[in-house]
Amino acid sequence: MFPKNGWYAAIWSKDLASEPVGRTFLGEAVVLFRGANGQAAALEDRCCHRAAPLSLGAVEGDHLRCGYHGLIFDAKGQCVAVPGQDMVPSSARVRAYPVVERYNVVWIWMGDPARADDSKIVEMPWLSDQGWTLTPSYLRIAANAQLLIDNLLDYTHVAHLHKNTISGDPREATTPTKTERLNDGVRVGRWMIDFKPPPLFAKAGGFDGNVDRWQHATWRPPSIVYMDVGAARTGTGAPEGDRTHGISIWSTHLVTPETETTCHYHFGFARNFQLDDQAMSKLLHEGTVTTFLEDKAMLEAQQKNLKGGAIDGLIHIAADAAQIQARRMLDELVRAEAH
């Protein structure tokens, strides 16, 4: 279970254009659209007349027209026109959801609108700052969102599942991580000194020898994981803070529950080097997609052996510390919301 009172990534800003987009969030069908004024909006994807999906309609100006009988709705969910009659029933409206567009993402609040405080959106300036170049992607995964979050907080699987992309040295499988519980999340990370670089990083950084690598993931509730990752030539001072001899990347993962067994996955690498190099963008984009398709296949196979995101009855190992802390914090949020 996930709390409804929280900001979730609905869609990358670039993917919300002139056509309405239907998606399900936390079990509720929603239509996203962008009016002529450029403002994003989100409504219940169910016309109040005959329950037709509004996502099968069309954007007209700042409004959304139902594709079945032509009723027109504004961004607040109020029906403002009914073809063939002058009077609009006062009860002709659908639920509207608070949305905010920030960091090249349209965020949606599925809970109590009165509690939708946009100052609570996690700060991720690298997603939109001109000093960084982002390569955004999207996958729908047939697995519970919490399983994906577990995966992102687990660095031990990298050496086994991602040998051809982001794993480079067999020692990664046994390099320990340090977990820290924060007031507003969980952090896990590690340094790998004098390691063979992974194929993707070797190409991106032009490394021909060993590197010092860093991996630091932070989970922020309800379902955001961002990673400070990178590599620098061994012995050039990266552990002491000098990363000028390497590459730095913010690996960002925005996970939004769809149903108990499916989720939306918005992800991307943001880099602060070779900003206008299209070949580098292509390399990193294709590398991330290849990597996370490997995760997708494993998570979907894992889901078939589980009920939702529950892991009751399974054993835990030391490397699970960050996952367990995140699950506990999430459970606390869900319980608090229920009271």
Query: Cis link prior to 222 (omega < 30° from 0)?
Result: yes
CA distance 28 to 324: 27
Predicted local confidence at residue 204, as pLDDT: 93
Determine phi and psi for 246, rounding to 5 degrees.
Answer: -155, -160
d(CA 74, CA 61): 10
d(CA 282, CA 123): 26
Q: Could you say which of 3.90.1150.10, 3.20.20.70, 3.90.380.10, 3.40.50.720 is the CATH number of the domain covering 129-338?
A: 3.90.380.10
Domain ranges of the chain: 7-120, 129-338
Supply the pLDDT for residue 164.
76
Q: What mean pLDDT do residues 232-239 have?
A: 96
Write down the pLDDT at residue 101.
Answer: 98
Does residue 286 sit in helix, strand or coil? helix
pTM of this prediction? 0.95
Please provide the distance, in angstroms rounded to a whole number, between the alpha carbons at the two ends of the chain. Answer: 15
Are 186 and 179 in contact, with CB atoms under 8 Å apart?
yes
pLDDT confidence of 79, banded at 50, 70, 90?
Answer: very high
Instruction: Kindly report, residue by residue over 151-199, the tens digit of the pLDDT.
Output: 999 998 888 888 777 776 788 888 999 999 999 999 999 999 999 998 8
76: nearest Cα among 51, 53, 93: 93
CA 86 from centroid of its chain's CA atoms: 44
pLDDT (tens digit per residue) in 115-160 = 999 999 999 999 999 999 999 999 999 999 999 999 999 998 888 8
What's the pLDDT score for residue 61?
97
- pLDDT given for residue 163 in this prediction: 77
CATH class of 7-120: mainly beta
pLDDT digits (tens, 9 = 90+) for 320-337: 999 999 999 999 999 999
Which backbone phi and psi does 216 adopt, to 5 degrees?
-135, 115
pLDDT interval class at 293 (50, 70, 90): very high
137/133 Cα distance (integer angstroms):
13
| % of the chain exceeding 70 in pLDDT | 100
